[in-house]
Amino acid sequence: MLGQFWHPVFGFTSFIELDSTNEDRKIDAFKSLPIYVYEGGGYDGLSYAQIAYHPTLTSPELARALGSPAYRARRILAPALAYVIALGSPAWIVHVYSLLNPAFWLLLAALLWRLLPVRDWRSWLAWAGVLFSSGAMSSVRLALTDLVALAILAGALAYAERARQAGDTFAAGIVAAAALARETSLLAIAAIVQPPWVSWRNACRVALAAAPLAIWSAYVSWVLGNDETGFAQFTLPFAGLVGKIGADFAAVREHTGSSFAWTTMLTTVGLIVQATFFATRLRFRDAWWRAGAVYALMMMVLAMPVWEGFPGAAARVLLPMGLAFNVLATRSRARLIWLLAGNLAVLNGLQVIRDVPDDPHELGAGHAGGAAIVARSSGDWYGVDRQSRSRRAWSPWRGEINLETWPHDTRTVGLVASVRSLAPIVLTVRQNDAVVWRNTILPSFPRPMTFEVSCFVRGGHGHLELLASPSGQLEPPDVQDRLPVFAVEDVRFVGARGE
């Protein structure tokens, strides 16, 4: 499923949801590197990816690029990891960050396989219920920090379970790392403390878990100032949840045929089932019960901004509850209906990960002469059809092919493509009013005709103009209709030479 997101030029950067708006608020690296750009608004993963370029938070362009810099910067672990793994290389940081969630997904899959452990179809159902839940898949799809935090928490609980007393202190340190990925991970310390509850050992564990986040938050406030955004995520008990239930029913009524509306409602039902499971089984001495119960309590006070959307951030925020639910339900041999109802979020998760972006104007992408190159059709063309590995787009009498190269320098790019027509035409390819190719194309040809042209690119951008005219004429007819006349397909690049 992840392989569908790979692009020959942009890699997996479509995960970070870089948007075309607010161009002046992007860091310089995101303006010059080949990163997938969406037409419309971005998402939070864009903020964390930009923080990865400036993990010390001291760059002026970072404060300008982030809407809530202090709020996002508190979740420093994933951006800092990307910076370290990429060895600070600007060309690699964004690609490393894009793949952090898939890497931690694999780590979580291995940890959970042993934690459950997976021995039959019931335990496999619980395993898949965590990994393919709406929260987990949303974190992967949007390059967020929630799944990174969850995998670390799973490691902390697994270590504490095996090492017991001596390992609890180290497990608290692992919780501290998870809290640097998402602040609410700190609640999992409830699973690490041991009876008697009021003791100096527990106080030390809590202090150890909270200290790194407290120190880092103080540094963030010193560099970027205070940000009260996080406090808006909580409200009176049940107010947000009741609002979410009403919003889900309204969405289903308004969008009857929308599978996203239905699966979002089922995700909410699944979270309620998980919380109910902990409320009906009081096991204070069970570390997994305490881990789930504390997040079930937090669920009750989450505000509407956390719930709103399809499915909403709550599915990610409450991932630790889902982890604890599936471990406890499997080990206690809970009835099958609990596992099925508690994991309804999988239906939405599978939809989320199938949301593969596709540029309707992209004719071809690749590398040549040390440059990354993308060719796009202009707005006059029909949408690009994808057939296996082939791309084809139909044009009326006039059309343009726009080239963009990285680096944004001056060079000559060789473009090779195939062209077919619906009627006998003369096709002329021009650049800057100079004819670079012309030939007669007949629909009776057994195969499309191949043409190769050299396109001059300045500052990373070049334009080719394609003009079709009836056979026997050199100029296109003066018509306004947009009926398809010719198609260009299988665009590729050769011999890009820097000037």
Residue 461 pairs in a beta bridge with 404, 458
Helices (H), 88-145: 90-98, 100-115, 121-131, 134-141
Architecture of domain 362-498: Sandwich (2.60)
Specify the domain boundaries for CATH 2.60.120 within the chain.
Answer: 362-498
Q: What is the dihedral of CA 96, 97, 101, 106, to 10 degrees?
A: 20
CA 13, CA 429: separation in Å to the nearest integer? 33
CA 428, CA 434: separation in Å to the nearest integer? 10
The pLDDT of residue 94: 97
The strand pair at 37-38 and 18-19 is best described as: parallel
CA 245, CA 75: separation in Å to the nearest integer? 29
| pLDDT band with cut points at 50, 70 and 90 for residue 480 | low
Contact 299, 314 (CB under 8 A): yes
Give the 3-state secondary structure of residue 467.
strand
Contact 162, 140 (CB under 8 A): no
Per-residue pLDDT tens digits for 199-227: 998 999 999 999 999 999 999 999 988 87
Q: Is the pLDDT of residue 318 over 90?
A: yes
Q: What's the residue count for the chain?
A: 499
Per-residue pLDDT tens digits for 43-83: 889 999 999 999 999 998 888 888 778 888 999 999 999 99
Q: Which residues have C-beta within 8 Å of that of residue 316, sequence separation ≥ 6?
A: 135, 138, 139, 144, 146
Looking up tokens 């963030």, which residue turns up? 220
Q: Which of 158, 198, 460, 149 is nearest to 319 (CA)?
A: 149
Output the average pLDDT for the chain.
91
Q: Is the pLDDT of residue 40 over 90?
A: no
DSSP one-letter string for 214-278: HHHHHHHHHHH----GGGGGB-STTHHHHHHHHHHHHHHHHTTT-HHHHHHHHHHHHHHHHHHHH
Q: Is the pLDDT of residue 448 over 70?
A: yes
Q: Is the pLDDT of residue 315 over 90?
A: yes
Q: Is the pLDDT of residue 230 over 70?
A: no
| pLDDT band with cut points at 50, 70 and 90 for residue 478 | low
Give the H or E element holding residue 466: strand 461-470
Q: Is the pLDDT of residue 240 over 60?
A: yes
